[in-house]
Chains A and B, each alone.
Chain A
Amino acid sequence: MALFVSIDHRLGAFHLRADFACEGRLTALFGPSGSGKTSVVNAIAGLLKPDTARIVIDGEALTDTQSGVCIPAHRRHIGYVFQEARLFPHMNVKQNLIYAQRFGGRAERPGASFESVVDMLGVGPLLQRQPSLLSGGEKQRVAIGRALLSHPRLLLMDEPLASLDEARKQEILPFIERLRDEALVPIIYVSHALDEVRRLADFVVVMDHGAVVDSGPPQLTLRAAYIQDGPQGETEMNIFEVFQSEQLADGRWALKTHAGVFHAPQSQPMPSRVRVSPHNLVVSLDDPGRAGVPSVLQGVVRSIARDGVDQTCRIVVRAGDVDLVARAPEAFVRETCLREGAHVYLLVTALQVS
C-alpha cells in the first residue's frame, strides 16, 4: 500500500497543511492534541472535504480537488476505528459485525472471514450482547473487528486506546500488533501517546500545529519527542529498530541498531526490534569490559532529572544516533557527581526482542 497525502484546509483560525507519503505496515500520525491528526484521517476516509487536497492510494486518486475528484466515503473501502468505538446501539455485537460484511464485504477483495476475525479478537462470547453492556476494551475490539470485516484496503485508527485505562490498553495492543505483523491490512494509526507509537509504528509522521514537522522511521523521528514526553515511570521504554543482524557461532544474535550493538539469545525468527526498559540500563562511568554483561552501549549524558520515581533519576543518554532513557539511583548520581556531558557506559541487564 502506498499512500500519498497533500492537504491544505482552513477551519476557522486553524490551518491544516499536511504533506506526506508512506507505505509502511503501520504508519503512526503522531503529535499533540489539536495538531490536526484527526482531520488528516477524516480527509483520507472521505468524511472531511478539504479546501485543497490530493490523496492517492495505490495510484488511485481518492480526493483531487484540482480535477474535482472526491470519492464518497462509502465507496473508498477504507476502514475506520474511531476513538469512541461508535458501535450501532440498536444492534447487538453480531449484527454490528455483519453490518460491515453486508456493505463493505461485497467488495471483490480478499479479506478476513467472519470466524477468523471473531477468533482473533476474542469477541465470540460477546456476539449476542448489546454494545451498551460491553466494557470499553470490548467495545474497541468489536469496533476493530467491524472495520476489518468491511474488507478495507487501508485501516484508519484514530486514538483507539485514548479513552481506555492502562489495563484495557494492554488488552488491545496485542491485537493491533497482530494486525500489523500478519500484514492483514495496512494501518494509519493516530496517537499522541509516545509509548503506543514506539511499540506499534514502523513509520512515523510527526505533526504539530496543523503541519507535518517530520517523517521517517520511529528511531529517527521520535528522538526529540522522547524527551518532551517527560517522566512516565514504568511505561517508558527504549525501542530500537534493528537494521542489520548477524548470527554468531553459538547461535546468539548480534543486532545492530542506531544506538549500538545488542546481543540477544538464540531465537526464531530474526528479531527486528529491541526493547529495553530504562530500569534495565545500568549507568557506569567505567568500562565494564565484556565480563558477564552481553550488551554494553556507550554514550554521552544529555540530561539528568530527579523526577521522584522510586528515588531514581531519569538520565537521557545520547548513544550512537539516538537518545535513550536510563534510570539510576539518586545516591549513585550524587556520589559519582554525574553531570551532563559525561561519557558513560550503559550495561543492558535485560532486553526483549520481537
Chain B
Amino acid sequence: MRYIQLDISYPGQGNAKRPLMLPKRRNHCRMPRAGNGVFGDSMMFDAGLTADEWTAVRLSAQVALVAMAASLPLAVGTAFLLARGRFWGRAALDALVHLPLILPPVVTGYLLLLSFGRNGLLGAFFADYFGLVFSFRWTGAALACGIMGFPLMVRAIRLSIEAVDRKLEHAASTLGANPAMVFATVTLPLILPGVLAGAVLSFAKAMGEFGATITFVSNIPGETQTLPSAIYAYTQVPGGDAGAMRLTLISIVISVGALLLSEVLARRVARRIAA
C-alpha cells in the first residue's frame, strides 16, 4: 500500500502545541486497527469516541462558548450604536461589522494571521501588555470564531433593539432612572430574546467555523483542533470515514441541542414579556 504524505495532523497524533504550518517529512499515517476506530492507541470512551475525539469535542465547545461570551457585550454595544447612534462613520462601522460575512473565511483567517500573529501589530500588543497570545492557541480559534459570528450576532441584536418601544424608555426616565439604568432595567430585558438568538447564532457559527480558524491557528490536536478540523483530518486519511461520521453525528447533536435550548429560553422570555 502506498500512502500519500500528509501534513495534516489528526486526532491522536499527540504532538500538540506545535504549529503545523510547514510540511513535515514523516510517515505518520497509520493503518487503522480493526474494531477500534482509527487510532488504536486511544482509549474507548462513551458514545464510541476516543479520548482525542472527546478532546476535539470539548475544545470545540470551549472555543464556541468563549467566542460567544467574549463577543456578546461588544455585539450589544455595536448593535446599540448601529440601531440608535447618529454619528459620522456609522455606515463604515456597519460595513466593517459585516465584512467577515462577505469575505471568504480564508481571507479573514489570513488577515487575522497578519494582525494577530506573534509579529502582527495587535498580536504583539496583546502578548506584551496582557500576556494574551492568539497564534496557534485555542484563544486564537476563539478569536477567529468570535469574529466570524460577530455579524450574525450584531444583526440579531440590532433588530431587537430597533423593535424596542422607545416610549417605555421615556416612561422609565420620567420615573427617575438615568440612561444607564434605563438600558439595564428596560432596554436589556426587552431585547433579551434577540440577544439570545444572536448568542445561539454565534455559538452555532463557532461550532462550524473552519476556514478562518484553520488558516489562523492551524489544526493542532488538543489546542486548536475543533470538531470541523478533526472531521476534515479524518476525511484526509484512508479509513477515517467511521471517525468522521462519529464526529459529524456529535456535531449535529450539539448544534440541534443548542438550537432547541435557545428556542425554549426564547419562548420562556417571550412569555414573560408578552405585551
Which residue numbers of A lie inside 8 Å of B, CB to CB?
45-47, 72-80, 82, 84, 86, 88-90, 99-100, 103-107, 130, 132, 146-147, 150
Whether A77 and B190, one on each chain, are in contact in the complex, defined by CB atoms closer than 8 angstroms, is: no
**Contacting residue for B272 out of A86, A90, A146, CB 8 A:** A90
Any A CB within 8 A of the CB of B36: no
* Least CB separation from A103: chain B residue: B176
Residue numbers in B under 8 Å from A74 (CB-CB): 173-179, 182
Instruction: Determine which residue in B175, B177, B272, B275 has the highest number of CB atoms from chain A within 10 A of its CB, and name it.
Output: B175
Contact flag A89-B174 (CB < 8 Å), given A99-B185, A130-B274, A132-B274: no
Interface residues of B in 206-262 (CB under 8 A from A): none
Whether A80 and B274, one on each chain, are in contact in the complex, defined by CB atoms closer than 8 angstroms, is: no
Given contacts A90-B189, A150-B174, 10 further A-B contacts (CB under 8 A): A72-B173, A72-B178, A74-B173, A79-B175, A84-B167, A88-B168, A88-B171, A89-B273, A104-B175, A105-B176
Residue numbers in B under 8 Å from A100 (CB-CB): 175-176
Whether A73 and B173, one on each chain, are in contact in the complex, defined by CB atoms closer than 8 angstroms, is: yes
Kindly provide the distance from the CB of B190 to the nearest chain A CB, expressed in whole angstroms: 6
Any A CB within 8 A of the CB of B181: yes
Residue numbers in A under 8 Å from B170 (CB-CB): 47, 73, 86
Whether B190 and A80, one on each chain, are in contact in the complex, defined by CB atoms closer than 8 angstroms, is: no
Residue numbers in B under 8 Å from A105 (CB-CB): 176
Contact flag A78-B274 (CB < 8 Å), given A90-B189, A90-B190, A99-B185: no
Contact flag A80-B181 (CB < 8 Å), given A89-B275, A90-B273: no
Instruction: Determine which residue in B177, B181, B190 has the highest number of CB atoms from chain A within 10 A of its CB, and name it.
Output: B177
Kindly provide the distance from the CB of B102 to the nearest chain A CB, expressed in whole angstroms: 35
Whether A103 and B177, one on each chain, are in contact in the complex, defined by CB atoms closer than 8 angstroms, is: yes
Any A CB within 8 A of the CB of B114: no
What is the size category of the interface that chain B forms with chain A?
20 to 34
**Contacting residue for A80 out of B174, B177, B185, CB 8 A:** B174
Residue numbers in A under 8 Å from B44 (CB-CB): none
Q: Is the interface of B mostly helix, strand, loop or mixed?
A: helix
In whole angstroms, how far apart are the Cα atoms of A105 and B176 in the complex?
Answer: 8
Whether B175 and A150, one on each chain, are in contact in the complex, defined by CB atoms closer than 8 angstroms, is: yes
Interface residues as binary, B164-198 with A (CB distance below 8 Å gives 1, 0 otherwise) = 00011011111111110110011001100000000
In whole angstroms, how far apart are the Cα atoms of A130 and B273 in the complex?
Answer: 8
Report 5 cross-chain contacts, Cβ distance below 8 Å, ordered by A residue.
A75-B176, A89-B168, A99-B185, A103-B177, A130-B272
* Least CB separation from A106: chain B residue: B176
Contact flag A103-B275 (CB < 8 Å), given A73-B173, A74-B174: no
Give the number of A-B contacts (CB < 8 Å): 73
Residue numbers in A under 8 Å from B273 (CB-CB): 89-90
In whole angstroms, how far apart are the Cα atoms of A99 and B174 in the complex?
Answer: 11
Whether B186 and A45, one on each chain, are in contact in the complex, defined by CB atoms closer than 8 angstroms, is: no
Kindly provide the distance from the CB of A129 to the nearest chain B CB, expressed in whole angstroms: 12
In whole angstroms, how far apart are the Cα atoms of A76 and B170 in the complex?
Answer: 13
Contact flag A82-B171 (CB < 8 Å), given A103-B177, A107-B176, A150-B176: yes
Contact flag A89-B274 (CB < 8 Å), given A80-B171, A82-B167, A103-B181: yes
Whether A79 and B174, one on each chain, are in contact in the complex, defined by CB atoms closer than 8 angstroms, is: yes
Kindly provide the distance from the CB of A81 to the nearest chain B CB, expressed in whole angstroms: 9
Residue numbers in A under 8 Å from B181 (CB-CB): 103
In whole angstroms, how far apart are the Cα atoms of A86 and B171 in the complex?
Answer: 7
In whole angstroms, how far apart are the Cα atoms of A79 and B171 in the complex?
Answer: 9
Whether B172 and A88, one on each chain, are in contact in the complex, defined by CB atoms closer than 8 angstroms, is: yes
In whole angstroms, how far apart are the Cα atoms of A335 and B193 in the complex?
Answer: 72
Kindly provide the distance from the CB of A243 to the nearest chain B CB, expressed in whole angstroms: 36
* Least CB separation from A42: chain B residue: B170
Residue numbers in B under 8 Å from A104 (CB-CB): 175-176
Whether B175 and A99, one on each chain, are in contact in the complex, defined by CB atoms closer than 8 angstroms, is: yes
Contact flag A89-B190 (CB < 8 Å), given A73-B170, A82-B167, A132-B274: yes
* Least CB separation from A47: chain B residue: B170
Contact flag A132-B172 (CB < 8 Å), given A89-B190, A99-B185: no
Kindly provide the distance from the CB of B198 to the nearest chain A CB, expressed in whole angstroms: 18
Instruction: Determine which residue in B172, B182, B189 has the highest number of CB atoms from chain A within 10 A of its CB, and name it.
Output: B172
Kindly provide the distance from the CB of A95 to the nearest chain B CB, expressed in whole angstroms: 10
* Least CB separation from B272: chain A residue: A90
Kindly provide the distance from the CB of B259 to the nearest chain A CB, expressed in whole angstroms: 24
Residue numbers in B under 8 Å from A78 (CB-CB): 174
In whole angstroms, how far apart are the Cα atoms of A118 and B274 in the complex?
Answer: 24
Residue numbers in A under 8 Å from B186 (CB-CB): 88
